[in-house]
Structure 1
């Protein structure tokens, strides 16, 4: 069970994502990929939650919303 979170601000941290998604259920893991060549964040992440119902609630509430100056794209990974 994993959620794709796209169009993230490059300033976002794993902690920021855990806090945002914890409102909708238990967050198991956050992966925030880093570009190997530049060492910079790639602007997307994967969030793993405890169950499908929590994921569905987070997707419904956060997809298309504005966060840190960006409009989020959120769906099942």
Structure 2
């Protein structure tokens, strides 16, 4: 289980730096670490990153106050860092249904065998 003092910050301007983002986040509390993700091939920012606060209350404050806030002409998406991983697990449950349909077809074969 991930700590609830880590947040995900998405839809960031592509020209942002940790230094320009930090004052915005520090309005909510002590920032331990900011990590902006870059594309390894181009070195350019991907437009999202993560922030670690000193405590959960600061992270909650950031989510409440910064999610949907305009920053650098873009609407920020802010949530707990472990949320995107959880929600991305949900769609992976869907492909099980077609697979189940396929296995129904397989059940037909042994039955035909029993009849013979």
Range into which the TM-score falls when normalised by the shorter chain: over 0.9
Aligned length: 77
TM-score (norm: length of structure 1): 0.96
Which residues in structure 2 correspond to 1:1-77 (within 5 Å)? 1-77=5-81
Q: Which has the higher strand share?
A: 1
Gaps of 5+ in 2: 82-116
- What whole-Å deviation, never above 9, does each CA across 1:26-49 have from its counterpart, x for those lacking one? 000000111011110000010100
Q: Which has the higher helix share?
A: 2
- What whole-Å deviation, never above 9, does each CA across 1:26-77 have from its counterpart, x for those lacking one? 0000001110111100000101001001110111000011100000100000
Runs of 4+ in 1 over 2 A off after TM superposition: none
Name the SS for the 2:33 alignment partner.
Answer: strand
